[in-house]
Structure 1
Amino acid sequence: MNINHKDGLKLNKMEKKFLRKQSKARHVLLKHEGIQAVSYPTQSLVVANGGLGNGVSRKQLLLALEKCGPMEALLMPPSKPYAFVVFKTIEESKKAYAALNGKEIIDDLGQKIILYLNFVEKAQWKKLGLQALPPGLLVVEEIISSEDEKMLLESVNWTGDTDNQNFQKSLKHRRVKHFGYEFHYENNTVDKDKPLPGGLPDICNSILEKWLKEGYIKHKPDQLTINQYEPGHGIPAHIDTHSAFEDEIISLSLGSEIVMDFKHPEGVTVQVMLPRRSLLVMTGESRYLWTHGITPRKFDTVQASEQFKGGIITSDIGDLTLSKRGIRTSFTFRKVRHVPCNCSYTSVCDRQRKATPPCLPESSKEAWQLEREHVHRVYDLIARHFSSTRHSPWPRIVEFLKALPSGSIVADIGCGNGKYLGINKELYMIGCDRSQNLVDICRERQFQALVCDALSVPFRSGCFDACISIAVIHHFSTVERRVAALQELTRLLRPGGQALIYVWAMEQEYKNQKSSYLRGSKTSHEDKKEINSDTSTEELLENQMPDGGSEDLASSVPSTVNIKEEGCKPRKVELPVHTNRTCFHSQDVLVPWHLKGNPGKDKAVEPFGLAGCPDPSPVFHRYYHVFCDGELEASCQALGDVSILKSYYDQGNWCVVLQKV
């Protein structure tokens, strides 16, 4: 075969690109998973991008691997974007290495994925311990017949009742109907004095009577919520409001199976398969203490064994595959509570929990330790996912940058992924951030950025015409450190230079404006385009509680941070964890970030997704000091050498434009 010079150069380029991607996959596997590739052939291979976390099923991968020879094992860890294959001989392993490296396969969503293979001495993974169902949880399979399922599904009229919002609502992620009592999404409770006309549907009454007689339930419910989920939709982790409902909560799954995640406050997560036509019964600890939710995705990791139907998804990585979701309809029954809740789970009970003032850092060292754990570390862990939600610049920040004279030198202090660094091509902009991983993203996007602390920026005084600080100052945990950050910002400005500063606002309702964060699922698609993705508004909407509802209450449990001064006993700093999609009740809070896997990257390009997290959707807590009206201006006036040109409220943020005098 004759290959001309141009074709040869093209092949050489492609080969170099492939080797670069393969090397990156090897590096990431080692860094995040401790998986050591070797340079010599072995029987075992690690297949990057060929995992359940990438949407690759066991059947798909087997089809590609079986062509290379007989295998001893195919091991697919849950939620991981890689798999291990062990061939019977080294020759067959070498054949797979040569044939499949850089090969495109199509996942179950029809997307292209490129496989990258490396030899390993042996397959290794982090095994999960044996798990049991949360106490008080029961799954009853085949609780109704397929005929009853059909009748129940046909009884739901999704096109009717549109004039009466007490009956039907269209939420961000699902369609909902209420019977008996309407659940009010703005405060996660029911109006016990206003039952809906008609009670529960007649078709349900006979089924409930049967379950009572057979002993599956102890009380007849008087409230029903019907949810319909499309594939890819879910519901955030939550605890049903204690004061609204009695102990027993039951849910009937129709139309499709689903995996529901149960999580204990101490971090233990149990994934439970709810088969079609099964009944879930939650009482006691599983009802009051554990959160439950459904991760939004189009596939679930399930047991490949045909005999497996319902219950815990085990960690047997030799028997896991993907199951495509269908349209699921859930009938969730509850009994409205008419007496105060007196459960023993007081830390998460909305009636019994007592609000305690936060215990804050008492020294600069304690403040730094708190920020290191709940700001610096968290942003490095969530950098890729954080960046994937940071793409829409805010109009008023764009306006500030575009109004600056051509040729101005501008610093973005706390630049994140560099969203604002390329807004105005007529400026010379440089960014800095405390997170190495976010700065790496800036550099990938060809922006000038460096790693540094906002309290000590390595530039000489007076060298910038303008600075911006968007959603940064509120991460400092003492008044002195917040003022010091503002002082450092003004030090960088030349006389006459201006700075734009945004911080989260305590007031999420201001002058009859309700921030998009509180509007929640009522925010229109057009509204979202105007929401600042560096603020509490869009950030909490997109990353914490995608919509509200009877199943969306995240309990605000205080979190304790142990702070240790040299030569002293450790001191506990206690901060409340903010309940998403509600007003702030404390100025100093920990705000949850729900991390999603493999965000913002083309699967065919990125050789590795989210790694090192056994929980498929871990939650991290970031420290915030939310500013009250006038507090930001007062902090700026304390600097002495600035004048405030403008201050305003913008979608849940307090904002200031100041000038150095």
Structure 2
Amino acid sequence: MDSNHQSNYKLNKTEKKFLRKQIKARHTLLRHEGIETVSYATQNLVVANGGLGNGVSRNQLLPVLENCGLVDVLLMPPNKPYSFVRYKNTEESKKAYVTLNGKEIVDDIGQKIILYLNFVEKVQWKELGLQVLPPGLMVVEDVISSEDEKMLLESINWTEGIDNQNVQKSLKHRRVKHFGYEFHYETNNVDKNKPLPGGLPEICDSILEKWMKEGYIKHKPDQLTINQYEPGHGIPAHIDTHSAFEDEIISLSLGAEIVMDFKHPDGVTVPVMLPPRSLLVMTGESRYLWTHGITPRKFDTVQASEGHKSGIIINDVGDLTLSKRGMRTSFTFRKVRQTSCNCSYPLVCDSQRKEIPPSSPESDKEASQLEQEYVHRVYEEIAGHFSSTRHTPWPRIVEFLKALPCGSIVADIGCGNGKYLGVNKELHMIGCDRSQNLVDICRARQFQAFVCDALAVPLRSESCDACISIAVIHHFATAERRLAALQELVRLLRPGGKALIYVWAMEQEYNKQKSKYLRGNRNSQGKKEIHSDASMQGLLVEQMPDLDNQASAGSDPSINDFWDGGCNSSKVTNSKLPIHTNRTSFHSQDLLVPWHLKGNPGKDKRVEQLGTTGSHDQSSVFHRYYHVFCEGELEAACQTLSSVSILQTYYDQGNWCVILQKL
């Protein structure tokens, strides 16, 4: 073959490869986002890979698009890996289609990204998100001068160790100093009987007095925590312990700006911009009920317009861009509480949980609150440790996934750390889970996963060839909510599509077989088994490392995840819901199951970078709500569903399992 023929062959091969990728991008947009492209030229284009969700900012993309003509509008939806552009006329959009298709650009952190463009009929995006701050939350811009900011930052002596004035500690990806009282991260509390000598730094006195005079705060704090955050890192979502501090919690942001996410128990998320020298004041509902945290990432989605500095990040897709994170220092002031908390949120209040213990809920609202406290919050806390014990996929679940036709679209509802998302490479699998920290682990493993509510999965009806729900539905606290979760699975299935469902069984001894997790059971090597439940309850919307480093080699995997060691009810006093003793038979269908959070859960650096493990001591115990299913209960619930046929029911090592098909 002469050189000309070789050149033509390479060119044809390149063109074919590009065409395949463009078609794949088109199909992906339709399948996962419902975006329909057209084969004829219009003024409008969808730019795959050119979105905020994969690190492309407005400032990067707009000049590239403008090289081809006058851009009428550029819409960049938050957390999406694509954008929409409308040109003034079709000739310019055609030029962009020809010129930019397959164009390689480099994002702010040096990654190469290839753009794929397709024509669409319309450029539009439904605005989402709450447009008001959480009740009781206030952000005050420029609360101190740049001179005061410099003075405060220079006053911190990070090189000193423990002295008479404060306690300095180094946590993952951040340095910390405490004044007034030391904050103990292993208990999320302070020792009220051991104040630190010296109180708060004198440099803060005049600033605090000024804030009180101006009405920003009502009480003078007596505890201060200074955190210095490295770029790209954050803190898990949390609520400051009710019994530890009074209502008012304030945080002064210095250095770089940051976006802090506030989340309501019903799943609503409000991203709040905190610019340098701004004061965040949390009182009432925002302090006691909403979690707040900083998602670990290199960039934040922010308003592009100059006039919008602080407050809510409005999902105006015509005015969003990316902001690269820098070093941030926060001064968080609190007043230590000397009496019990009597707030209006008893289900999330550690002072009142002893007086109003968890019980079987009588309403949907109560069920949602119970799940928030004893499912969602717990999995967010234990995510890193939980993931490190989730390793070998279960054979019968693998069998189900490998029997599906090549190219099938499969949703794993409640995917946990994503251990089933990579089982069959011939499938198009997407996962979702209620835990942001577990979804972050899925993303680090390069899996498609997003945060959502299993009762309202943001996928189109009849868009899936199959669904799996592994160890999820037993986390819903009423029969109505469990049935609604089953109905949501059926909604996602196309006619003929199948769903595989696993739930914990009441019967841990069945057909003369004792479940593997029961007390005293050991594997053939004499090691205690580490069990592997696939996921937690998926309950709101965003958008990828097998971390099975604690697995015992040779042990049989198990769905049930009763951690080694019994636990009695002393950790949750006066509870109307019984506390299960690990590795024993069930004596109640509705109960709390202990999870013993071990220190240093796993050695995988990727887990540490995700910041999911927290800083807990060796004996931290969390309690998760479960409804364990009696024989026939899951099958009976499935039989109430319309347009469904039950193909198979079986028992698998302490779990009741159903395979159903949509008619």
Change (3 A) 1:118 1:528: same
Tell me how far 1:444 sits from its aligned partner. 2.7
Q: Hey, what's the Cα distance between the residues in 2 that align with 1:255 and 1:182?
A: 24
TM-score of the aligned structures, taking structure 1 as reference length: 0.63
Separation of aligned partners in 2, 1:476 and 1:516: 18
Amino acid paired to 2:266: E
* Aligned match of 2:404: none
Which position in structure 1 is the counterpart of 2:135?
A: 135
User: What's the secondary structure of 1:352's corresponding residue?
Assistant: coil
Which runs of structure 2 are paired with 1:252-291 in the superposition (5 Å)?
A: 252-291=252-291
Alignment partner of 1:476: what SS? strand
Q: Deviations over 1:500-545 (max 9, x none)?
A: 23452334799xxxx998355x56xxx514x9x9xxxx7xx78783
Which of 449, 457, 479 is the aligned partner of 2:506? 479
Say which of 476, 486, 504 aligns to 2:561.
504
Unpaired stretches in structure 1, ≥5 consecutive residues:
360-369, 376-385, 398-409, 419-431, 456-472, 490-495, 571-631, 637-661
Q: TM-score scaled by structure 2?
A: 0.63
Amino acid at match of 1:134: P
Q: Is the CA contact (8 Å cut-off) linking 2:170 and 2:176 kept in structure 1?
A: yes
Alignment correspondent of 2:597: 518
Q: Given the superposition, is the C-alpha separation of residues 11 and 279 from structure 1 closer, same or farther in structure 2, using an over 3 Å criterion?
A: same
CA contact (8 A) 2:102 2:115 kept: yes
User: How far 1:307 moved relative to its partner?
Assistant: 1.4
User: Residue 236 of structure 1: CA displacement?
Assistant: 1.1
Q: Verify the 8 A CA contact 2:177 2:225 in the aligned structure 1.
A: yes
Matched residue, 2:422: 441
1:126 correspondence with 2:126: yes
Give the whole-Å Cα distance in 1 for the aligned partners of 2:512 and 2:309.
Answer: 56
> Are the equivalent residues in 1 in contact too, given 2:43–2:93 (CA < 8 A)?
yes
In the TM superposition, residue 560 of structure 1 has moved relative to its aligned partner by 9.8
Matched residue type, 1:547: G
- Equivalent positions of 1:58-457 (< 5 A) are 58-129=58-129, 131-161=131-161, 167-353=167-353, 354-356=356-358, 412-415=395-398, 441-444=422-425
Q: Following TM superposition, by how much is the alpha carbon of 1:453 offset from its aligned partner in structure 2, in angstroms?
A: 8.6
In the alignment, the residues of structure 2 paired with residue 160 and residue 292 of structure 1 have an alpha-carbon distance, to the nearest angstrom, of: 30
Deviations along 1:596-626, one digit per CA (max 9) or x if unpaired, are xxxxxxxxxxxxxxxxxxxxxxxxxxxxxxx
Deviations 1:207-266 (A, max 9, x none): 111111121110000010111111110111111000000000000000011111111111
Q: Is the 8 A contact 2:174 2:228 kept in 1?
A: yes
Change in Cα spacing, 1:484 to 1:23, as seen in structure 2 (3 Å) is farther
1:546 aligns with 2:613: yes
Give the secondary-structure state (helix, strand or coil) at the position aligned to 2:218. coil
The letter of the residue matching 2:614 is D
Instruction: Give yes or no for contact 2:253–2:276 (8 Å, CA) kept in 1.
Output: yes
Alignment correspondent of 2:430: none
* CA shift for structure 1 position 442: 3.3
Tell me how far 1:546 sits from its aligned partner. 3.4
User: CA 1:145 to 1:485, structure 2 compared with 1: closer, same or farther past 3 Å?
Assistant: farther
Q: Would the alpha carbon gap of residues 416 and 64 (structure 1) be closer, same or farther in structure 2, given more than 3 Å must change? A: farther
Aligned-pair CA distance for 1:476: 3.1
Query: What is the distance in 2 between the residues matched to 1:236 and 1:315?
Result: 23
Task: Give, in angstroms, the shift of residue 172 of structure 1.
Answer: 1.4
Which structure has more relative contact order (CA 8 Å, sep 6+)? It is 1
Query: Does 2:603 match 1:528?
Result: yes
**1:553-564 map, 5 Å:** none
Q: C-alpha separation between the residues in 2 aligned to 1:452 and 1:214?
A: 56
The alpha carbon displacement at 1:114 in A equals 0.9
Gaps of 5+ in 2: 362-370, 377-382, 402-409, 428-464, 471-499, 517-523, 525-553, 568-593, 642-652, 656-663
Amino acid corresponding to residue 330 of structure 1 in structure 2: S
Contact 1:271/1:313 (CA < 8 Å) preserved in 2? Answer: yes
1:83-133 deviation line (CA, Å, top 9, x unaligned): 000011111111111111111101111111111111100013232155101
Evaluate the alpha carbon distance shift between residue 26 and residue 434 of structure 1 in structure 2; reply closer, same or farther with a 3 A threshold.
closer
Structure 2 Cα separation of the partners of residues 504 and 344 of structure 1: 34
Contact 2:237 2:294 in 1 (8 A): yes
* Cα contact 2:173–2:229 (8 A) shared by 1: yes
Residues 445 and 164 (structure 1), Cα distance of their counterparts in 2 relative to 1, 3 Å cut = farther
Q: Is the 8 A contact 2:271 2:313 kept in 1?
A: yes
What amino acid maps onto 2:597 in structure 1? L
CA distance in 2, matches of 1:487, 1:135: 51
The total of aligned residue pairs comes to: 477
**Residues 529-608 of structure 1 correspond to what in structure 2 (within 5 A)?**
529=604, 545-548=612-615
Closer, same or farther: CA 314–477 of 1 in aligned 2, 3 Å: same
Distance 1:254 1:128 in 2: 30
Moved over 6 A (4+): 163-166, 389-394, 432-440, 450-455, 484-489, 541-544, 553-564, 566-570
CA contact (8 A) 1:48 1:117 kept: yes
State how far apart, in whole Å, the 2-side matches of 1:126 and 1:560 are: 37
The answer (yes or no) to whether the contact 1:231–1:325 under 8 Å persists in 2 is yes
Cα 1:86–1:49 change in 2 (3 A) is: same
Q: Which residue identity is paired with 1:545?
A: T
Whether contact under 8 Å (1:239, 1:555) holds in the other structure is: no
Tell me what 2:5 maps to.
Answer: 5
* 1:563-615, Cα deviation, whole Å (9 max, x unpaired): 99679999xxxxxxxxxxxxxxxxxxxxxxxxxxxxxxxxxxxxxxxxxxxxx
SS of residue paired to 2:13: helix
Matched AA of 1:356: P
Tell me the distance in 2 between the aligned counterparts of 1:305 and 1:166: 41
Paired residues of 1:171 and 1:547 also in contact (CA < 8 A): no
Q: How far is 1:487 from its partner?
A: 9.2
State the alpha-carbon separation in 2 of the partners of residues 319 and 452 from structure 1.
Answer: 36
Contact 1:172 1:546 in 2 (8 A): no
Q: Distance in 1 between matches of 2:174 and 2:122?
A: 44
Amino acid at match of 2:603: K
CA RMSD of aligned residues (A): 4.7
Deviation readout 1:283-305 (Å, 9 max, x if unpaired): 00110111111111111111111
Contact 1:348–1:555 (8 Å) recurs in 2: no
CA gap of 1:454–1:176, structure 2 versus 1, over 3 A, is closer
In 2, distance between residues paired with 1:80 and 1:217? 38
**Residues 483 and 300 of structure 1, relative CA distance in 2, 3 Å threshold:** farther
CA distance in structure 2 between the partners assigned to 1:341 and 1:508 by the alignment: 32
Residues 106/240 of structure 1: CA separation in 2 closer, same or farther (3 Å cut): same
